[in-house]
């Protein structure tokens, strides 16, 4: 009896590990741009983060990107935004469509293409125009799609130059530009929570079965 229950427990663990494996490619990646990285002018006003970017899985090979400016000064705005992707993602094949928010005048994706040479080249670029900058408390939403694309595809540091997951150019009407970037490691939070929960279930179930059998 105990042996049979342990077998069921083992199968339950394997089933949950399989589900956990699929969750590893699910969830959200949140990036908080809270670090000034070029220090050649005044940092943005207010307490960081000055920008928040959240990637969320929205279907197979599809990701929703929400970009939220948290700048506090009325004369400050986000001018450009660069993201990096995992090496197994062909950035040249990423399709990007804007859903809402101040319209970007340029939306492009290409492997190691964007940013200055010292930045090492990022894979995706969003640019706002003079009349439609991303100002404080404004949100822009985008739909991204490509083969194998998930939210965690963007949790990858640039290979050379600035070692960041993403970089933004914050500017003001005085003509000053500052490069800001997220710090820390953006992990797929939903996946991690789901993994912990799922792995806990078979342990509890196995203990219960063994207790009943004994």
Ranking 83-92, 177-186, 187-196 by mean pLDDT, the lowest is: 187-196
For residue 146, what pLDDT is reported? 98
Banded model confidence at residue 172, pLDDT cuts 50, 70, 90: confident
- 17's tokens: 């590990």
DSSP output for 110-141:
EEEEES-GGGT-EEEEEEE-TTS-EETT-EEE
Asked if 211 and 199 count as a contact pair (C-beta separation under 8 A), the reply is: no
pLDDT tens sequence across 84-98: 999 999 999 999 999
Nearest alpha carbon to residue 121 among 150, 169, 152, 83:
83
Banded model confidence at residue 159, pLDDT cuts 50, 70, 90: confident
């Amino acid at each position: 009896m105990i042996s049979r229950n342990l077998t069921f427990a083992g199968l339950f663990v394997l089933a949950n590990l399989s589900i956990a494996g699929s969750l590893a490619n699910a969830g959200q990646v949140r990036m908080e741009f809270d670090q000034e990285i070029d220090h050649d002018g005044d940092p943005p006003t207010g307490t960081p983060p000055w920008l928040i970017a959240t990637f969320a899985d929205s279907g197979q090979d599809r990701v929703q990107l929400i970009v939220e400016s948290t700048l506090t000064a009325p004369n400050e705005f986000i001018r450009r935004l660069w993201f990096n992707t995992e090496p197994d993602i062909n950035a040249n094949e990423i399709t990007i469509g804007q859903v809402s928010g101040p319209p970007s005048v340029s939306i492009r994706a290409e492997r190691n293409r964007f940013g200055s040479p010292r930045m090492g080249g990022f894979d995706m670029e969003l640019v706002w125009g003079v009349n439609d900058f991303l100002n404080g408390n404004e949100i822009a939403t985008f739909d991204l799609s490509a083969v194998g694309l998930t939210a965690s595809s963007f949790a990858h540091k640039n290979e050379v130059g600035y070692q960041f997951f993403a970089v933004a150019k914050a500017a003001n009407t005085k003509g000053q530009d500052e490069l800001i970037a997220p710090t820390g490691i953006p992990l797929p939070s939903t996946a991690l929570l789901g993994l912990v929960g799922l792995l806990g279930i078979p342990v509890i179930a196995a203990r219960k079965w063994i207790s009943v059998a004994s």
